[in-house]
Amino acid sequence: MHSAVWPLAAIIAGIFILQGGNGLLGTFLSLRLALEGVPSFLIGVVVASYSGGFLVSCLFGHRLIRNVGHIRAFAVCAAVMCCVTLAFALRVDPYVWAGLRFLTGVAAAGMFMIGESWLNDRTPSSIRGRVFATYTTSNMIAQSSCQLLLFVADPAGLALFMVTAGLFAACLIPVALTSASAPALPSIEAFGLRQLFRVSPVAVVGCITAGLVNASVGGLAPVFALGVGLGSSEVGVFTAALVLGGLLLQWPLGRLSDRYDRRLVLLGAVVAAVAVGLTLAVSTGGPAAGLVVLAMAFGGTAYSVYPISATHANDHAHRQHAVSVSSGLLLSWAIGSIVGPLLATATMGLLGPAGLFLYTASIGALLALYIVWRMTRRAPVPAEQRGAFVAQSQTTTQVATELNPRLDSGAHPKNQ
């Protein structure tokens, strides 16, 4: 048992450190650009560039891994993350930073793909569910906790660049020390949008919407928080609350969707996210504690849209197509995450910091209307044909879908 668990713990630990550094870097870069007075739209370009690099790596990164092997590829990607992070410190230029951010997206996705393929290969079926839950939870804990590192140093200085680069170097240590043999990289073909719509229109629109909203908020929350009067260290608490809310509410909302029509639960989460977003938009200048509580509520509702949508799609997928469907939904989310920050920053340019959550409320309202319309077109999946909800993170690659224990149990083939 020890020989099976130790490699898993080492890989999860490495990805935990990587997620922490990655989450800190995204928040820190947006905050630094805002402090430098860079226009919000250009900040959105930098945020979107990461998603673009991530998507490209998800589609083509497996070629590097197959050519040089898992350990070498992981080391190369970690070196790229370190070097690029330090390169950010040389000059604050949004155009240069957009290119560098693209590279971090490529490298981060490659590292996630390597770690997740290792977990897929080394996880015994008897503990698959626990490993997947541990992996998902640790990712979200790492993202939220490392936001608090903004307390460590002045974001206008160089220290946080060095701290982040150190985290990217440290994530290599547990992975490089594992004695596990390199696994075969799974070959996963994502469904096209037309095929995905045949499986579940609500799931596709829900995942795209999650990308449009969550990537925008995750990348631009520092700009909003700074614009409404929070200090640099309070920005870290605000962004941490977003991720922590997603961690705390994802499970109960998911379990609720096991008992009732998932679309109804999804609708409730979306409506709640719209309401909280509008409250945030009109709460500019309010007390920091109130904004943090609202951020946690927003993260809990908005960050639950993707996993509930993905689970809803898998209620309708044939077992042999379940991984491809989940992979396609993840790529749909990635497309939304590229477009979303550009739309959000354009809105912020017109309406100020409040425009971020006015934008999310508008997108959420459209999704709510679409869900209501779809519920009039199709009956819900019978309770006995619904699988159990499994929490999922949006900051992983399509390789992680094979680790999902729900996909091993089969799914009902009926389309919705």
412 within 8 A of 385, measured Cβ to Cβ:
yes
Q: Does the structure show a pLDDT above 90 at 94?
A: yes
pLDDT digits (tens, 9 = 90+) for 284-301: 777 889 999 999 999 999
pLDDT digits (tens, 9 = 90+) for 227-265: 998 888 899 999 999 999 988 888 888 888 888 888 899
296, part of any domain? yes
| pLDDT bracket for residue 340 (50, 70, 90) | very high
Supply 336's token pair: 């939304």
- What are phi and psi for residue 394, nearest 5 degrees? -90, -5
414, part of any domain? no
DSSP assigned state of 376: T
Cβ partners under 8 Å of residue 81, min gap 6: 18, 21, 104, 107, 108, 111, 165, 168
- The predicted model gives 86-112 an average pLDDT of 94
Integer Cα distance of 369 and 83 in angstroms: 46
Nearest Cα neighbor of 11 from 182, 168, 171 is 171
DSSP count for the chain of H helices, then E strands: 16, 0
181, part of any domain? no
**Amino acid, res. 330:** L
Q: How many CB atoms lie within 10 A of CB 370?
A: 17
| pLDDT bracket for residue 2 (50, 70, 90) | very low
183 within 8 A of 402, measured Cβ to Cβ:
no
| pLDDT bracket for residue 410 (50, 70, 90) | very low
| pLDDT bracket for residue 322 (50, 70, 90) | low
pLDDT digits (tens, 9 = 90+) for 70-85: 778 888 999 999 999 9
Cβ partners under 8 Å of residue 76, min gap 6: 64, 68
Integer Cα distance of 181 and 130 in angstroms: 22
Nearest Cα neighbor of 46 from 22, 30, 24, 35 is 30
pLDDT of residue 411: 43
282 within 8 A of 366, measured Cβ to Cβ:
no
Nearest Cα neighbor of 88 from 79, 76, 101, 77 is 101
pLDDT of residue 368: 96
109 within 8 A of 53, measured Cβ to Cβ:
yes
413, part of any domain? no
Domain of residue 368: give its range.
2-175+190-408
**What's CA 172's distance to the chain center, in Å?**
21
Integer Cα distance of 238 and 300 in angstroms: 13
244, part of any domain? yes
pLDDT of residue 413: 41
Q: Does the structure show a pLDDT above 90 at 391?
A: no
Lowest pLDDT segment from 161-170, 306-315, 318-327: 318-327
- What are phi and psi for residue 272, nearest 5 degrees? -65, -40
26, part of any domain? yes
pLDDT of residue 375: 87
Supply 138's token pair: 């640790």
In the chain, the number of structural domains is: 1
- The predicted model gives 202-225 an average pLDDT of 93
pLDDT of residue 71: 79
| pLDDT bracket for residue 269 (50, 70, 90) | very high
Buried b or exposed e, range 291-300, using 16+ CB within 10 angstroms: bbebbbbbbb
**Amino acid, res. 95:** Y
**Amino acid, res. 377:** R
How much is the pTM?
0.88
363 within 8 A of 284, measured Cβ to Cβ:
no
Nearest Cα neighbor of 98 from 56, 143, 52, 59 is 52
Nearest Cα neighbor of 123 from 403, 408, 409 is 403
Q: How many CB atoms lie within 10 A of CB 33?
A: 22
Supply 223's token pair: 């700009």
Integer Cα distance of 201 and 184 in angstroms: 33
342, part of any domain? yes
CATH number where 237 lies: 1.20.1250.20
pLDDT digits (tens, 9 = 90+) for 164-194: 999 999 998 988 887 666 666 556 565 567 7
**What's CA 352's distance to the chain center, in Å?**
25
363, part of any domain? yes
Q: How many CB atoms lie within 10 A of CB 61?
A: 24
pLDDT of residue 16: 92
